[in-house]
Amino acid sequence: MKGAYEMAHGALDLIQLHEPWDHCASVGFPAPISNPFPKPVLIENRCVNLERNELSEWVEHVTKQLIDDLPDTETHDSLQTETRMVFGDNNIVPSLLGDHFRPKKSMRRSYFDGNGEELQWSHELGGHQANITEKEGSARSSMSRIDENGLNLITLLLECAVAISVDHLGEAHRMLLELTQMASPYGPSCAERVVAYFSKAMGSRVINSWLGICSPLINHRSVHSAFQVFNNVSPFIKFAHFTSNQAILEAFQRRDSVHIIDLDIMQGLQWPALFHILATRIEGPPQVRMTGMGSSMEVLVETGKQLSNFARQLGLPFEFHPIAKKFGEIDVSMVPLRRGETLAVHWLQHSLYDATGPDWKTLRLLEALAPRVITLVEQDISHGGSFLDRFVVSLHYYSTLFDSLGAYLPCDDAGRHRIEHCLLYREINNIVAIGGPARSGEDKFRHWRSELAKSSFMQVAMSGNSLAQAQLILNMFPPAHGYNLVQGDGTLRLGWKDTSLFTASAWTSRASR
């Protein structure tokens, strides 16, 4: 008899189709709210009696103090500075005389009421709001797990971010040298590992600001290898794959000729499961064509061969078309469309690099294609706004991700280090050192869901079968690991403890209907 794990794993391939696409209710997308998990229609909370995130909670506390301690704009404008050179560890950066500015040291105190009273605060930074309510003793309990060294590391990191935000690069460089000596990516605590990677990314930003470098170098093979490890030890990638596959399957119901455009296909890990279901349809398999987008033609060709071989084994008619360009940088005539095809567009968003090009051009091309379905899985993190805005949001986001890995894998696990070094650090570096309007010259949408809702697309609620797929994935992980699933506003959200990390949604073009 199969074990529970094997049964759940096998059930992922049995995608059922009970809700016809045409009868799915369209829903609107509400304005952004401070709580990342809105009041849902249905909640499946699998972390019973678990405490809040140990690291991300303290990030929230210290961030509040950072915002309160920020100098006002007049102070920034009135600073009289002089450039000099600072030498250290073979790094040379332009430094501003730091005597005029120093982040307040008062932040290095304990951030909970010594009397154990309820602590409430809220702040808004660049359109993002955070509202945190701590019950009596919760902060004290978390402090037992975040040691004084970890708290000092996070505080110094935040002070460094303030210095960078007002272009006091010399002062920032001095603090980064201190952080480099204090924090290691191999450290036993999540706090130390997060600070080590953020420090490295911020050091890159300081050097890049001096040298005028704005483009990261990506080793795609190492990224894809780490992506596969992440897929094996965490539910997030599987969640993105199977919820999207379910929405695409429902859109392809009774269609004989279908076309999938993957805006960043990588190694195409998600498509074999969908191919299997399409090949075994009662009404017979459709003719499937796929257009894979990516930056490396070599990787695209290799991916196409793998998918073609798999489809051939299933007896599924299949064609693959590689396009080694960003989706937002091509013309609609470059997409090999055919009359009578049902078109699906899929995008699993990440922060490793800019996969699509200018957002406004990407949106314009999507409107021109008028796909039957767009499946979108977004990280619950904004790429827009100022440096400090992106830094604060990303620090909380990646603190939560590091916490989730630390709850599942020991600190000396080789797979965990590969994920943190080859994936999470690269994302942090892209957001902090490279990304953002000030660095790329292009404005980025804060949330694609809101932009699609304002254009020619309607949101289609994720079906009950998509929810069932996601729940099966979570069943592979013991409840004590803290992952949870929320269905609300037509979306599915997967998070860790009380923080939403990935949101899946489906959209249809009004023109296609």
Task: Give the burial class of 375: count Cβ atoms within 10 A of its Cβ; 0-12 exposed, 13-18 middle, 19 or more buried.
Answer: buried
Please say if the pLDDT value at position 132 is more than 60.
no
Give me the residue label for tokens 């010594």.
Answer: 114
Mind spelling out the 3-state secondary structure of 332-394?
Answer: HHHCCCCCCCEEEEEEECCCCCCCCCCHHHHHHHHHHHCCCEEEEEEECCCCCCCHHHHHHHH
Separation of alpha carbons 35 and 43, rounded Å: 15
Please say if the pLDDT value at position 186 is more than 80.
yes
Please say if the pLDDT value at position 109 is more than 90.
no
| Backbone φ/ψ region at 89: left (φ over 0), alpha (ψ -120 to 50), beta | left
Separation of alpha carbons 260 and 265, rounded Å: 11
The residue that leads in pLDDT, 212 or 289, is 289
pLDDT at residue 68, as a whole number? 59
Separation of alpha carbons 160 and 489, rounded Å: 38
pLDDT at residue 318, as a whole number? 97
Task: Give the burial class of 340: count Cβ atoms within 10 A of its Cβ; 0-12 exposed, 13-18 middle, 19 or more buried.
Answer: exposed
Question: Both tokens of residue 126?
Answer: 């660049």
Average pLDDT over residues 487-494: 92
Please say if the pLDDT value at position 59 is more than 90.
no
pLDDT tens digits, one per residue of 80-91:
222 222 222 333
The whole-model pTM stands at 0.75
Separation of alpha carbons 145 and 190, rounded Å: 11
Highest mean pLDDT among 157-166, 226-235, 315-324, 328-337: 315-324
- What DSSP designation does 492 have? E
